[in-house]
């Protein structure tokens, strides 16, 4: 259990054309000189190569492909010193409508990557979620820690929990050099407009009333995606192999508070939204205690003012309509069919 600094020079980032993975690719290019990134991304509905456009070609290469493709992994993994695994089906509502792709990508895909890491002795960092721990009551003072038992609620979170358990088993049984991080809800630019915050911002920009599930009292623990990226780099380079680290920035807020903040900042009345059908099995509250990451590895979030981060995010969606507009109609049609 000695803590050694790991200095990777040639890493694979799966899902590097998605919201959080692409942020990490930018982070590495901007902060980690001499590190080359191979992005492996299938470019599903959630992947957009525009998210990493313009980065220097000698630092970033995009390989379009599926993490479930073992032959492809045999071709590209050798020669890399680490895989940082972001690729996933990531949206709870989609997992309720059709769980199958979640099992395939989140469980089988992780299995394939672990096998490749075992075969080629490549270090592995696994990106996971606080949702593996289930939910907390609104009046419970507790927060999730690395010791909280797994208790996932949705098809999405159960596949993420399954993939975490595979990582632990491949580390213990086969000695794969792995770390895991479980992060809370991310917000920021480039998030797919199916997700809560960008859905409401783009609804308002389109003249559609925002949609709030259930009673709106559900609490999420928001972290800016830049802070998630800096935490992952810290864990990859300084974390102890075999350990799990929780990532969070003390950002608990109820959904109705977040929505009211968006409405206010976009010049709309506080009640200018629709209450819609609740998500089945809707987790009540998530809350992260990130003491271990802060104390053991010295990480701290930089974006501690949520409203400032929200303003920056609103401005980004205002200024980048070309990025989200082509998918808006289909996204809302899918929600409308679900009564949401």
Kindly state the smallest distance separating residue 270's Cβ from ligand NAD, in Å.
25
Residue 309 in contact with ligand NAD, rule: CB under 6 A: no
Contacts (CB under 6 A) with ligand DAU, residues 164-193: 184-185
Kindly state the smallest distance separating residue 92's Cβ from ligand DAU, in Å.
4
Got the DSSP string for 222-285?
Answer: -EEHHHHHHHHHHHHHHSPTT-EEEE--S-EEEHHHHHHHHHHHTT--TT-SEEEPPPTT---B
Kindly state the smallest distance separating residue 45's Cβ from ligand DAU, in Å.
14
Position among 27, 35, 36, 44 found at the interface with ligand NAD (CB under 6 A): 44
Position among 24, 286, 299, 306 found at the interface with ligand DAU (CB under 6 A): 286
Position among 11, 82, 127, 166 found at the interface with ligand NAD (CB under 6 A): 127
Residue 130 in contact with ligand DAU, rule: CB under 6 A: yes
Kindly state the smallest distance separating residue 83's Cβ from ligand DAU, in Å.
19
Distance CA 340, CA 337 (A): 7
Residue 150 in contact with ligand DAU, rule: CB under 6 A: no
Which is nearer to ligand NAD, 43 or 103 (by Cβ)? 43
Active site residues: 130-131, 156
Which is nearer to ligand DAU, 155 or 239 (by Cβ)? 155
Position among 211, 228, 238, 285 found at the interface with ligand DAU (CB under 6 A): 211
Which is nearer to ligand NAD, 191 or 203 (by Cβ)? 191
> How would you label 139-174 residue by residue, b for 16+ Cβ within 10 Å and e otherwise?
eeeebbebebeeebbbbbbbbbbbbbebbeebbeee
Kindly state the smallest distance separating residue 69's Cβ from ligand NAD, in Å.
8
For residue 136, give Cα distances in angstroms to 147, 281, 282. 15, 13, 11
Residue 104 in contact with ligand DAU, rule: CB under 6 A: no
Backbone φ and ψ for 259, nearest 5 degrees, come out as -65, -45
> Of the ranges 30-38, 39-47, 123-131, 245-253, which one interacts with ligand DAU (CB under 6 A)?
123-131
Position among 8, 21, 189, 198 found at the interface with ligand NAD (CB under 6 A): 21
Contacts (CB under 6 A) with ligand NAD, residues 74-93: 86-88, 90
Alpha helices (H) along the chain: 19-31, 70-76, 92-97, 100-102, 109-120, 155-174, 196-206, 225-238, 255-265, 291-297, 306-319, 321-337
Distance CA 194, CA 172 (A): 37
Looking at the DSSP bridge assignments, the partners of residue 128 are: 182
Residue 212 in contact with ligand DAU, rule: CB under 6 A: yes
282 sits in the region (left: phi over 0; alpha: psi -120 to 50; else beta) called beta
Q: Write the burial class of residue 57 (CB in 10 Å: 0-12 exposed, 13-18 middle, 19+ buried).
A: exposed
Nearest Cα neighbor of 213 from 282, 303, 147 is 282
- Binding pattern to ligand NAD, positions 166-205, x when CB under 6 A? -----------------x-xx-----x-------------
SS3 45: coil
List residues near ligand NAD by CB under 6 A.
14-15, 17-21, 41-44, 46-47, 66-68, 86-88, 90, 105, 109, 127, 129, 160, 183, 185-186, 192
């Amino acid at each position: 259990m000695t803590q050694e600094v790991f200095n990777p020079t040639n890493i694979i980032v799966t899902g590097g054309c998605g919201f959080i993975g692409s942020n990490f690719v930018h982070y590495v290019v901007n902060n980690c000189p001499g590190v080359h990134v191979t992005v492996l991304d299938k470019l599903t509905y959630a992947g957009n190569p525009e998210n990493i456009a313009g980065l220097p070609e000698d630092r970033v290469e995009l390989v379009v492909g599926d993490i479930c493709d073992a032959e492809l992994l045999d071709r590209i993994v050798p020669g890399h010193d680490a895989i940082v695994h972001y690729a996933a089906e990531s949206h709870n509502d989609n997992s309720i409508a059709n769980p199958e792709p979640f099992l395939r990508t989140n469980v089988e895909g992780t299995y394939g990557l672990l096998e490749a890491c075992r075969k080629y002795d490549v270090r592995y960092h696994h990106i996971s979620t606080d949702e593996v721990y289930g939910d907390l009551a609104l009046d419970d003072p507790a927060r999730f820690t690395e010791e909280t038992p797994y208790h996932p609620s949705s098809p999405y979170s159960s596949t993420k929990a399954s993939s975490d358990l595979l990582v632990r088993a491949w580390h213990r049984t086969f000695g794969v050099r792995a770390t895991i991080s479980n992060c809370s809800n991310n917000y920021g630019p480039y998030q797919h407009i199916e997700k809560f915050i960008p859905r409401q911002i783009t609804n308002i920009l389109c003249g559609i009333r925002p949609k709030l599930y259930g009673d709106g009292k559900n609490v999420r623990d928001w972290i800016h995606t830049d802070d998630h990226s800096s935490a992952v780099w810290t864990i990859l380079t300084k974390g102890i192999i075999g350990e799990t680290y929780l990532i969070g920035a003390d950002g608990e807020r109820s959904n109705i508070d977040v929505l009211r903040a968006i409405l206010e900042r976009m010049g709309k009345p506080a009640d200018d939204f629709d209450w819609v059908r609740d998500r089945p099995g809707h987790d009540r509250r998530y809350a992260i205690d990130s003491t271990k990451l802060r104390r053991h590895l010295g990480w701290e979030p930089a974006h501690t003012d949520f409203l400032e981060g929200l303003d920056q995010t609103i401005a980004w969606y205002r200024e980048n309509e070309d990025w989200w507009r082509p998918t808006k109609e289909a996204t809302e049609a899918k929600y409308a069919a679900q009564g949401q």
